[in-house]
Amino acid sequence: MPTRQRRRPVDEFENEIIDLRRVSKVTKGGRNLKFRVTIVVGDRKGHVGVGLGNTTEIPLAIQQAVRDAKKNMITVNMDGGTIPHEVIGKFKAGNVLLKPAHPGTGIIAGVTVGAICRLAGLKDVLTKSL
């Protein structure tokens, strides 16, 4: 009787590392070093999420961040390859303006916002950090 091989399901999400830092906590016994990873996960069809992982080894931190990003998924409204209207995102002191763009413009953004737009599936968008 032949043995069956189990196929692992293909993950439909792509991920991209935005930030990788070595952080330390000073205790009475010395410094505790850990790695903090910020990852964007998306399917290029309008779903995107951002996650954070913090452990002593980089591969474990990446796995933790991917798991966290999949829990924090949002749906991005798209009109063709762009967004339907202007959006201003605010978090603490940071503001980001997203504007729709004509086809062929591309993603004009910084590294972080560009990765989020790319993995969300946007093709034409203008951004500005305010």
2 belongs to a structural domain? no
Model pLDDT for residues 73-118, shown as the tens digit of each residue = 999 999 988 999 999 999 999 999 999 999 999 999 999 999 999 9
Residues 64 and 111 in one domain: no
Residue % of the chain over a pLDDT of 90: 87
Task: Indicate if 66 and 82 belong to the same structural domain.
Answer: no
Task: Give pLDDT tens digits for 14-25.
Answer: 999 999 999 999
Residue-number span of the structural domain to which 85 is assigned: 78-129
Question: With helix as H, strand as E and coil as C, how does the chain read?
Answer: CCCCCCCCCCCCCEEEEEEEEEEEEEECCEEEEEEEEEEEEECCCCEEEEEEEEECCHHHHHHHHHHHHHHCEEECCCECCECCCCEEEEECCEEEEEEECCCCCCEECCHHHHHHHHHHCCCCEEEEEC
Among the three residues 32, 49, 74, which one is the final residue of a domain in this structure?
Answer: 74
Q: Are residues 59 and 88 in the same domain?
A: no
pTM of the predicted model, to two decimals? 0.84
120 lies in some domain: yes
